[in-house]
Structure 1
Amino acid sequence: MNHPDHSPLGKASAYVDQYDVSLLFPIPRLTKRAEIGVGETPPFFGADLWMAFELSWLNLRGKPQVALAQFTIPCETPNIIESKSFKLYLNSFNNTRFLDAAEVQARLRTDISEAAWRGAPQPSSVGVKLLLPELFDREDVAEFDGLNLDRLDVECSRYTPAPDLLTAAFDEGPVAEVLTSNLLKSNCLVTGQPDWGSVRISYSGPQINQEGLLQYIVSFRNHNEFHEQCVERMFMDIWTRCKPLKLTVYARYTRRGGLDISPFRTSHPQALPAAVRTARQ
C-alpha cells in the first residue's frame, strides 16, 4: 500500500521530460475514510475535478503543443493521485512526440484510470478533456453562488477541525440553503505547505447555525490533510452533526504546481458542477 510519506512530496525530484507513467503515485482513500467514519459504502457520491494548466508535448515534427486539461476522478476510485506525482507525470510529456491531441488524451485517460482504479475488483475509467488554445478564451471565471458566510463578524480561536462548532435547529421546520466561504485554508498532509480554497455548502434540512459553520470552516486553517480528505471530513461532520436531508460540499482550491483540485461530494445523485474556476484559481 502506498503511503503519503513515500510519495515525491517534500523531496528533491529530477525533472523528467520523457514520458514516464511510473511517476504517478496513487494513495488509497481507505485509511483516511476510516478515520472519519466512512464505511464500506460511503454516504456520498461525487468526484475530484482537476485542472492542469501546464500541459505540453511535441508533435511528430518536434513542434511544441499546449493545452489545458480537465480530469474527472470519481470518488468511487480506491485511490487519489498525489498531486506532485501528477505534475511530474505531466511534465514527462514535455519532450515526448505524439501524433496529435487525441493520442495525448487517450494516453492520459489510460494511465490515470489505471492509477486511480488500481486494486479495484471492477476497474473503470476517469474523464479527460483537453482544451486546445483556440478554446482558451471561452474559459469562464465566476464566484460561487449562494449566501457568503464571510459577512459574519465572528470570533475565531480554533484552527484544527472542531465539529462541535456545528449545530442545527432540530426543533424548527426544514430549510434549503446555499452557503459559501472564501476562508477555507488547510495544509498539505506531508509538507505542511498552505492550501487555499473556497467552499460551497448546499443542504436541505434543519437550519445550520451560520456563525458556527463559518467558525468550523476556519477551524481547518492549521489542519494537515489532502484536499479530497478535507472535503470528505467536512461532509461527514455536517452530515452526522446537523443531520441534513440532502447535503453537497464543493471546494475549489487554488492551483499549486500548475494544478488545481476541486473535490465535490453530494448525498444524492446529481450532475457534476460546470468547470468554472474562481478568480483565485
Structure 2
Amino acid sequence: MSTPTTPEASPLGKPSTYQTQYQPSLLFPIARLGKREEIGISGTLPFFGVDIWNAYEVSWLNLRGKPQVAIATFTVPADSPNIVESKSFKLYLNSFNQTKLADADALLQLLRQDLSAGFGAPVHVTLTTAEGFSGLKLQEPQGLLLDRLDIEVDQYQPNPALLKADPNQVVIEETLVSHLLKSNCLVTGQPDWGSVQIHYVGAAIDQESLLKYLISFRDHNEFHEQCVERIFMDIMRNCAPQKLSVYARYTRRGGLDINPWRSNFSTAQPPSNCRQARQ
C-alpha cells in the first residue's frame, strides 16, 4: 500500500490506463492531518463521524467468466488517519472488472482488507447485488429548507464571519437543510455538488447568514470531507452551539458519491444512507 502523500501526486487530472485485473496498489491514501491543522484541529478530534461512500459501478467475473454487478457501500471512520483519493478509488474498483472471484464474499474480503489498509482504520463494506436493487429508495434530507430565503449573495469563498447567533437568545433545537452547497475538487477544480443538513442545539443561528456562508463555498477548492469539517468548525467557533451535526450528501462522480457526517454529541446516531434524487 502506498504511503500517504499530497493530492498533487495523485492520479487526479492525469491520463490513466484502466487496469482490469485486481490491483490494490492503485489506492492512493492522503493524510487527513494537514487540512485539519489548517482549520485549527490538532490532538483529540472535536467530533466523531463517518464518511459514507457509495459505488454504483462494481463488477467482477464469477469462476465461469460471467459478469456480476453490485452496488457497494463503504463506511469509513472519521478518525482514520487517511482519506483515499476518489479517482484512485475508482481505478481500484475497475481493476476487478476482469477478475474472477468465487463469489461476492470473496470480493467483500478483498475490499475490506485493501480499503482498511488504505484508510488506516477498519472500513465497513456492504454489497447490494442486483436482486436487491428494487429495494433501494430515494429520500431527501429532513429539515427546514434554507433555500426558501430570498437573499443577495456576493461572496463565493468561505467566510466564517458571515455566521451569526445571538447568545442571549433562548436555546433551541432545529435541523436546517440546503441543496445549494457547491465546492470544487482540490486538484482539478471540477465542481462538486451537494446538499447539507445541519442539526444543532444552541442559540438560534441566523438562517440568512448561514445560507450565505454555505453558498460562499462555491469557488472553494477542497475535498468533500474537508469541506464538511470546515463547516463544522466554523459553526462551532462563530455560533457556539451546545451540540452540532453536519451531514453532506454529494452527487456522484465516476460512479462514486461521498457523504461525510460529523457530530459532537454522543446521542447522535449515524445518518441513514438514503440516496437523494440528485444522486
The bucket for the TM-score relative to the shorter chain is over 0.9
Q: Secondary structure at the match of 1:131?
A: strand
Matching residue of 1:2 = 5
Matching residue of 1:41 = 44
How far does residue 101 in structure 1 lie from its aligned partner after superposition?
0.1
**RMSD value over aligned CA atoms?**
0.6
Matching residue of 1:218 = 215
Matching residue of 2:160 = 163
Aligned-partner Cα distance in 1 for 2:42–2:202: 23
Matching residue of 1:120 = none
Aligned-partner Cα distance in 1 for 2:247–2:155: 22
Deviation by residue 1:37-73 (Cα, 9 ceiling, x = unmatched) = 1121111000100000000000000000000000000
Q: Secondary structure at the match of 1:248?
A: strand
Matching residue of 1:246 = 243
Q: Secondary structure at the match of 1:87?
A: helix
Aligned-partner Cα distance in 2 for 1:116–1:150: 35
TM-score normalised to structure 1 length: 0.97
How far does residue 273 in structure 1 lie from its aligned partner after superposition?
1.1
- Aligned residue pair count: 275
Aligned-partner Cα distance in 1 for 2:84–2:43: 20
How far does residue 271 in structure 1 lie from its aligned partner after superposition?
2.4
Deviation by residue 1:101-125 (Cα, 9 ceiling, x = unmatched) = 00101100000000101xxxxxx41
The 5 Å alignment of 1:58-69 reads 58-69=61-72
Q: Secondary structure at the match of 1:84?
A: helix
1:31 aligned partner, one-letter code: G
Q: Secondary structure at the match of 2:274?
A: coil
The 5 Å alignment of 1:1-281 reads 1-117=4-120, 124-269=121-266, 270-281=268-279
Q: Secondary structure at the match of 1:114?
A: helix
Aligned-partner Cα distance in 1 for 2:93–2:270: 24
Q: Post-superposition, which runs of at least 4 consecutive aligned residues in structure 1 deviate over 3 A?
A: none
1:131 aligned partner, one-letter code: T
1:218 aligned partner, one-letter code: I
Show structure 1 runs of 5+ residues with no match: 118-123
How far does residue 265 in structure 1 lie from its aligned partner after superposition?
0.3
TM-score normalised to structure 2 length: 0.98
Show structure 2 runs of 5+ residues with no match: none
